[in-house]
Amino acid sequence: MKRIGTRCLGALRQDAQLRFGVIGLAILLLLCLLAPVLATVDPYYYGPDSLAAPGVSGHLLGTNHLGQDVFSMLVYGVRTSLMVAIVSSMLSGIIGVVIGGIGGYFGGKVDVVISEIINIFLMIPVFFLIMLIVSLFGSDIKNVMIVIGITNWSKNAKLMRAQALSLRERTFVKSAIALGETKMQVLFKYILPNGIFPVVANTTRGMAGAILTEASLSFLGLGDPNVISWGQMIYQGKQYITTAWWISAFSGIAVIITVIIFYMLGDGLNHVLNPKYNQGGNK
């Protein structure tokens, strides 16, 4: 454990992007945990001060057309964004790893079929597919997370397939087969654990995409109306953009900063986990 901790600290010192991403993620997690303390007002409370400017009547970032405190909504919106990012990316990561690993390791007709399915999903305009599914089955936040997860697994599957194709030729895998272990045992004990590292970095970057997708759906009116989200705040504030710019502006800035944090974290993980990068020297 001490050795792992030393390596993690070394990676944080050497890679600025990873360091920025980890610090940013820590801040977001703190905001999630401390939301009830940091929020000055209940974000679901409809107050009398409609469209109050920032700083007026004790509202740090103003209010929306329903009198809800924008700052409190921003703080609670962190929870929604992180929940969507983590759940949908974990789902897409698991699906991609399993499907890609099966295709790459088993090869033959299985690999051909899986490769064609992956290519089909890569060619489909995923956002429009998500819009269609959400429109048909409802905009509940659970549906949104599941739909984003099951439509964004193809890149992870392609990465895992490439890893499995390489790993199945390694000596330790052939030794396991020679000792009598079944193909499924080899797949889940040796192939997937050793090939998952590029997928971890890609999945982390996928969290940024999931946040943008949820915000886009909410902006188009397809988000969950019962959950506070930054995309929904942008949607609510667009009609007041000339008179109450703060409703959309602050939530838009929150989306941009969070997406940058996850992109930095994903790139940093890719630098640390990519052997070619490490051989060429850290930047």
pLDDT tens-digit readout, 196-223: 888 888 888 889 889 999 888 888 888 8
Q: What is the pLDDT of residue 9?
A: 67
> Residue ranges per domain, the chain?
2-280
Q: What is the pLDDT of residue 2?
A: 53
**Where does 2-280 sit in CATH, by number?**
1.10.3720.10
Q: What is the pLDDT of residue 139?
A: 80
Confidence label for 3 from pLDDT (cuts 50, 70 and 90) = low
Helices first, then strands: H and E counts in the chain: 15, 0
Quick: pLDDT tens for 124-135. Answer: 888 888 888 888
What is the DSSP annotation of 211-264? HHHHHHHHHTT-S-TTS--HHHHHHHHGGGTTT-THHHHHHHHHHHHHHHHHHH
SS3 letters across 48-91? CCCCCCCCHHHCCCCECCCCCEHHHHHHHHHHHHHHHHHHHHHH
Q: What's the mean pLDDT when you consider all of the chain?
A: 85
Three-class SS state of 205: helix
Can you give the pTM of this predicted structure? 0.84
Q: What is the pLDDT of residue 283?
A: 43
Confidence label for 18 from pLDDT (cuts 50, 70 and 90) = confident
Confidence label for 282 from pLDDT (cuts 50, 70 and 90) = very low
